[in-house]
Structure 1
Amino acid sequence: MRPGPEADVDPDAIPALGGWALQYTPKVARLDDALLLEVSASERLWGGWRALLRQIYTSNKPVATVQYARGATSLIAYARLQDKTLARTSPDDLPLHTLAAARPHLATLERLGCNHWGQLRALPRGGVARRFGAPLLAALDRAYGLQPELYPWLALPDVFDVTLALGAQVETAPALLFGARRLFQQLQLWLQLRHRGVLALELCWSMDARRNTATQGQLPLRSAEPSADMAHLLRLAGEQLARVTLPAPVHALRLRTLETQKLAGETASLLPDARRSGDSLQQLLERLSARLGAQQVLQMQPCDEHRPEKMQVWQAAVNASQLIATCEGRTGARGLKDIYSSALYPTWLLATPRQLAVHQKRPHDLGPLTLVAGPQRLEAGWWVADDCALRDYFLARSEQSGLLWVYRERLSGQGAAVNADPQWYLHGLFA
């Protein structure tokens, strides 16, 4: 197998095609400008060689077209590949120029009347060895299967790193996605063959060096969980490329993996599982973060703190699925007593508590408040200077605002009078 004539100018066509061919057989070797696929052990898996060829021709390939030929040995197949008219030619009738070891001696062999493999094979072996050397006889023996054929089989690299030369210069970043699709297709195959998922990768591009600008650019992509879903990664790349401005035209792309992880195997169930269609929660959050910006999609991180305003912090939603699973595990382990103890916490918490007016030792907010439940005493922050919180929280009802979460300071301050009225604050609202 080798790329079609239109792909000969691409130096990366053979390596890309070699990695693609590994999905059909683990024995793939390079033979000059072609690839050798030893499929005798995998034909049955694909339903015979005809079904295998049909699969090869109908699947997406790194190059537009491929040419193929079959033979009992690799040298016979390679000889038939060089000329379509030789597809059904017997080995004895193959022309000598299709045997690479015989090409340096073609003029002499033609004067001897040898133009085909069979004629060369009929010559005395001793005379051929003395006149043309032992390598020609060894190649002829390998071609007829009299000696074993030894090739260094191709192996997938540990890190995916592929460069693609663009057919024309690209001046807008979103247009780079068209060429990047081919690289992502090769990445998907690499991940499938290595049974891995990608956590971090980088899309780089080389720009016109004649411009007085930077000649390199890159776009890092990260996923919170190992993924082999190229559609999701392409959407992330598209969202981020939409915000990139190229200072110069791009003539080449490069895609490489920065971090991968082995995928866990899945056990098939006897009964059909009820699976929801569409993106997972993590994929949705990653796509929104790529479109709106990482700081525009936040997640709550709980903290070990009793003060309500410091019980949580907000950070970029990079691993929301793991955080949700951790919080659910903690909630499941708690008893009903812990759940009921947090029932007084409001739905909305004010960023800064608002001081309430006090009349006759009763808090007012557009009118007097009626204390419904409480107090819930809080003493925290005493170990930090000027950050001590000594509060009694109450659930209060307002005729205008509904249920409110208020607290009363137990100490009015360092210089306050002992008999001074306590200060009241509004800290939360119940939706």
Structure 2
Amino acid sequence: MDAFEFHLPVDEYRTLPVPFYGLGDGRQPKLATCFVRASEIPDALKEWMSVNPRIPRFNKKDELTGSVARAIVTTLMEEPEKFVIKNQGIYLLTEKANHTKETGGQGILTLRFSDPQRHGLVNGGHTFQAIRQVAEDPDRLEPWEPYVRLHIFEMGGANSSVITEMAEGLNRSLQVDNPSLENLRGTFDEIRNSLQGKLGYEQIAYRQGDSGDVDIQQVLMYMSLLNIKKFPDRKTHPHTIFSQSKVVLDTFIEDIKPDNKSDNKSDDSAFKRMIPHLHEILVLTDSIQKLAVEQQTLGRLKVSNAKKQNRVRSEKNKNRPAYFAGGVIGGNLPAGLLYPMLAAFRANISPKAWNEGRFEWLAEPQDLLKATIEEMAQIVRQEYDDNKSKPAEVGRKEAAYRGCYGVLFVELAQRNLLAN
């Protein structure tokens, strides 16, 4: 393979000698760090991953699989400005790294790879592939200017055994996540049993390494948005749990404890009320996304002007499977816009049945959705515009939740169903 040299605009660049003298060529390695725009990372790095023992996995649509990889993609899609503080970055082994100041003070970093067995992307392959995936996604929101941290080891002609040991060490940092531990304890058994044999059952990923595209923490979030024990009416809304996956998991674990009883000794678990109806909730979630992206206000939030050189294929099928409702979802609806509309269906849960330990709808959810989706879409779009086109900010603020809840509340009142 020919040597590969590329240039990156880098304003600040810091380098330190590494106190190790076993490279085999008599030189001491250097470690440098800097931040670069994710869009500047060259596509050609994909040809320099032989030094990386953990190669990312892809599905049939050439999209990353696994809960960690999907979380990286979600951050790049919905909160790109926070990517630099939520991601550990990309580790590169180089033959040579050189930082210079050009006319006008612009810093330019030049990196050179010459041997694919010694140089290249040694850690952060999922980060790199997630950047490439989102960079070419036509549903990507604009402006898209995430930064990523580079860790650059200038290794020169280090012998292959050193490189192998280094690569293995850097790629042992993955920890077992909390949902995986809870899965071992049987925490999700009731959920698994409830969904057994139903459409989309096999798509739930209960632990790290599962092939399903729907993370169990996402399922818990959907149920939490409908928890009228914690968010009983129009005065309290679940905007406070947006992006709080650990809080949601901890709440679920506490709620389903066997000793969770109210004063009258009946089971007081909110989640246990919902679990028998979980598939209905998941179908509703799919349906909201299906209908929302068909609305003129949400069908195309902003057209991406993704750089051509960052694309890995010329076109992308924007249709996504609706795993639980069946069919496809014809576009991307960020979680910050989905959650207020789903949370609004708290108004459609019968308080009388809930107080008796049951979960029941006041009106058929699909019928209610069709009657209200246009108004809810207008509300979340207005909040999206008011929050500078940042969907995550919509998900964290009360206004969209309050507005969508009000739409369903009025519709139910007009149907004389609120007395139930």
Q: Which has the higher contact order (CA 8 A, sep 6+)?
A: 2
- TM-score with structure 2 setting the length: 0.25
Larger Rg: 1
